[in-house]
């Protein structure tokens, strides 16, 4: 486990760059499109590609594929990799052809709440067709990234999301020069997928060398590949529960007051920032170590306890800091151009509604990774399925009872938090086999948590020294906002780290 923390930091650093570029992308979207109908149409059309992007960049494929790769490059391993890439590409090509053929049916179902608006529907139709092929490109890239992760090539695999954001930023900036600007943003997504695929294929070929395409690959005769595809559907749902939940929310949000889609999207983007940096990085880095120790039960739980401690150390202060700085962050990132003060307030409320789910989903990523190593794929699937069904039922209730309530979108965010909490509790109980002593040893290191609490209190006091008033932040220029939020974040982090080190030093003495 010596390299676990350093690997987590490397992945976090690269994901941080990607997330920063993603925020610049969203800042530009807010500046150029606000919460307009064109942007909401784009968000609906982009939801499927965005869903797959989140799945592939969140380490879901790494969770699924890592147990099948031993870290060695052999002819047998090459055959397995070539087989799964080949078959997934064939399946996805078929699904995309079907999706393009019945695009109008899909859009009518998924954007049902927008059917009365012909202009928005036409925008959704067109952009859905433009961006759907990105799903194929992105899934192949995500699978290659998972393979690279299995060989500890974290730098290359974690860099792929950067290219999407760079190309989209260029597309947004040049979009006003065209008759329908939002279409250019959609085309930039497709172009980004092509760039990612080229880099991914080159990286994989450099790692594996030449792969001979044999009849065994074309006819899918590899036994390990067959086992992989047999478990893939259940494993995919279990690992991608956050992304699926977000996808379902978009459907129900289309029934709410205008702007709800955009507010939930921007709030989700902020929360995904922390989820991506911490949840994804920790889960991706921990899997190889848990796989190596899975035959030794005591070592497995010892390593898992260390992972949980690292997660607490990183995630708890991040979420507390986000809750305090939520409004200044929204103003800093989005309050430009067509993004109004009303949009700021509603996005802020959505962020608060998502906060609990953020912690729970990071926790779930760690626990699910451990359950996959224990080959409890089916259990993860059924728990995730039940939480999704519960979420859908609660969402339907909200839409039915509060569709005209301007705060209904906040209720959807709160539902996400409730279902995530129940999901987390159920997954933990399965992982520890309902053993209360094991739960306390792994998930409740009291002395360790006490240090984190003390450090967080000191961090909160340091953050409160700054002026966090709405009017003050609104009056600042973009440069001053970014400078202030950076200084405040760095100071809060510095105070937290110093207190942690002081407490650790005192304990050693």
Asked whether the beta carbons of 341 and 474 are under 8 A apart, the reply is yes
First to last CA, the chain: 25
**pTM confidence score:** 0.76
Asked whether the beta carbons of 355 and 417 are under 8 A apart, the reply is yes
- Where do the H-state alpha helices sit in 151-222? 154-174, 181-208, 215-218
Task: Quote the tokens at residue 146.
Answer: 């998972």
Q: Residue 71 carries which DSSP code?
A: S
Query: 223-239 and 241-253 helices cross at what angle (nearest 10)?
Result: 50
Element (H, E) at 222: none
Please report the pLDDT score of residue 114 as a whole number. 56
Task: Quote the tokens at residue 251.
Answer: 């459907």
Please report the pLDDT score of residue 13 as a whole number. 78
* Long-range residue pairs from 500-507, CB within 8 A, at least 24 positions apart, any chain: 500/313, 500/451, 500/452, 500/455, 503/451, 503/454, 503/455, 504/451
**Which residues, given as ranges, of the chain have pLDDT below 70?**
1-7, 35, 55-60, 62-63, 70-71, 109-117, 239, 242, 287-288, 505-509
Task: Quote the tokens at residue 482.
Answer: 């970014």
Please report the pLDDT score of residue 2 as a whole number. 56
Please report the pLDDT score of residue 70 as a whole number. 65
Question: What is the C-alpha separation between 279 and 402, in angstroms, rounded?
Answer: 33
Question: What is the C-alpha separation between 359 and 344, in angstroms, rounded?
Answer: 23
Sole residue written with tokens 């799945």: 55
| Domain spans, the chain | 4-444, 445-509
Question: What is the C-alpha separation between 133 and 112, in angstroms, rounded?
Answer: 23
Task: Quote the tokens at residue 7.
Answer: 């690997």
Please report the pLDDT score of residue 116 as a whole number. 60
């Amino acid at each position: 486990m010596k390299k676990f923390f350093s690997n987590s930091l490397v992945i976090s650093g690269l994901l941080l760059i990607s997330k920063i570029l993603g925020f610049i992308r969203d800042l530009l979207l807010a500046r150029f499109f606000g919460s307009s109908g064109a942007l909401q149409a784009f968000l609906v059309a982009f939801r499927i590609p965005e869903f797959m992007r989140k799945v592939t960049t969140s380490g879901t494929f790494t969770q699924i594929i890592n147990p099948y790769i031993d870290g060695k490059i052999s002819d047998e391993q090459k055959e397995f990799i070539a087989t799964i890439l080949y078959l997934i590409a064939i399946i996805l090509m078929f699904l995309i052809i079907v999706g393009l053929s019945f695009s109008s049916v899909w859009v009518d179902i998924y954007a049902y709440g927008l059917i009365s608006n012909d202009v928005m529907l036409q925008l959704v139709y067109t952009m859905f067709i433009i961006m759907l092929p990105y799903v194929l490109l992105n899934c192949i890239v995500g699978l290659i990234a998972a393979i690279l992760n299995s060989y500890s090539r974290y730098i290359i695999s974690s860099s792929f999301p950067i290219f999407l954001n760079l190309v989209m930023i260029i597309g947004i900036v040049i979009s006003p020069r065209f008759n329908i600007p939002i279409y250019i943003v959609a085309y930039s997504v497709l172009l980004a997928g092509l760039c990612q695929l080229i880099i991914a294929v080159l990286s994989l070929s450099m790692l594996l060398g030449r792969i001979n395409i044999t009849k065994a690959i074309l006819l899918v005769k590899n036994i390990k590949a067959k086992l992989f595809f047999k478990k893939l559907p259940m494993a995919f749902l279990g690992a991608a529960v956050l992304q699926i939940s977000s996808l379902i929310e978009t459907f129900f949000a289309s029934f709410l007051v205008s702007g709800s889609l955009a507010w939930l999207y921007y709030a989700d983007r902020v929360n995904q920032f922390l989820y991506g940096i911490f949840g994804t990085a920790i889960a991706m880095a921990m899997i190889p170590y848990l796989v190596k120790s899975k035959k030794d039960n005591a070592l497995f739980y010892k390593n898992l306890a260390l992972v949980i401690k690292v997660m607490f150390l990183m995630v708890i202060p991040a979420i507390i800091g986000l809750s305090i700085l939520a409004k200044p962050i929204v103003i800093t990132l989005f309050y430009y151009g067509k993004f109004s003060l009303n949009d700021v307030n509603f996005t802020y409320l959505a962020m608060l509604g998502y906060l609990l789910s953020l912690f729970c989903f990071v926790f779930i990523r760690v626990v699910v990774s451990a359950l996959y190593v224990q080959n409890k794929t089916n259990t993860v699937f059924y728990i995730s399925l039940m939480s999704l069904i519960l979420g859908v039922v609660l969402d339907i209730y909200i839409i039915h009872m509060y569709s005209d309530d301007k705060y209904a979108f906040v209720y959807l965010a709160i539902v996400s938090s409730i279902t995530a909490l129940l999901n987390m509790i159920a997954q933990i109980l399965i992982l520890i086999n309902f053993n209360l002593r094991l739960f306390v040893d792994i998930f409740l290191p009291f002395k360790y948590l006490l240090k984190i609490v003390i450090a967080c209190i000191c961090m909160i006091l340091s953050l409160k020294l700054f002026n966090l008033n709405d009017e003050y932040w609104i009056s600042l220029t973009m440069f001053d906002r970014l400078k202030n939020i950076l200084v405040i974040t760095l100071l809060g982090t510095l105070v937290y780290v110093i207190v942690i080190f002081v407490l650790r030093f005192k304990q050693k003495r």
